[in-house]
Amino acid sequence: MKHTLTPQRYLILLAVTLTAPFGDALLTRGMRDIGAVDLHHLGLLWHALFNPYIDLGIVLLIGFFASYMTALSWADLSFVMPATAFGYCVVALLGRFWLHEQLSVYRWAGILLIVCAVGFVANGPALTEHPELNRMDSGAAR
């Protein structure tokens, strides 16, 4: 099993962690300019694509997608997902201090619990070993 990650791979996980919450926050800021979208006015979603906040959010989310796929090529899905949990804290801080949303004590506690759970999981190995695949690989190498 791969227990350790190189500094470059930690940087990729950091990119996954930061780009998603900043991208989501920018999308929210842009959607506030667009207004509420309902089933009868889905065309507003097209207009949203011309909002600079939405565009920057999309760029960040593309960066997230690229770094996320890179991480999935050398780690389990159930490892990568929790390893990005710090994003929850970033979202909460952005919501509170940039978008001026109210966060109750319960929500802070919920976010803290999720981060604890995620840190708990991320302590394990990054990749599941599949013995049958390894046997096939070593057999092919011979």
State the Cα–Cα distance between residues 6 and 4, nearest whole angstrom: 7
State the Cα–Cα distance between residues 18 and 26, nearest whole angstrom: 12
Instruction: Using the structure block, give the residue that is written with the tokens 């800021």.
Output: 29
Convert residues 81-120 into a mask of x (bound to other proteins by CB under 8 A) and - (unbound).
xx----xx--xx-xxx--x-x-xx-xx-xxxxxx-xxx-x
Work out how close the CB of 113 gets to other proteins at its nearest, in angstroms, rounded to a whole number: 4
Query: Rule CB under 8 A: is residue 59 a binding residue for other proteins?
Result: no
Query: Rule CB under 8 A: is residue 136 a binding residue for other proteins?
Result: no
CB-nearer residue toward other proteins: 13 or 24: 24
Work out how close the CB of 59 gets to other proteins at its nearest, in angstroms, rounded to a whole number: 13
The residue type of 82 is P
Query: Rule CB under 8 A: is residue 11 a binding residue for other proteins?
Result: no
State the Cα–Cα distance between residues 125 and 127, nearest whole angstrom: 6
CB-nearer residue toward other proteins: 39 or 142: 39
DSSP string, 6-64: -HHHHHHHHHHHHHHHHHHHHHHHHHHHH----GGGTTHHHHHTT-HHHHHHHHHHHHH
CB-nearer residue toward other proteins: 75 or 139: 75
Query: Rule CB under 8 A: is residue 124 a binding residue for other proteins?
Result: yes
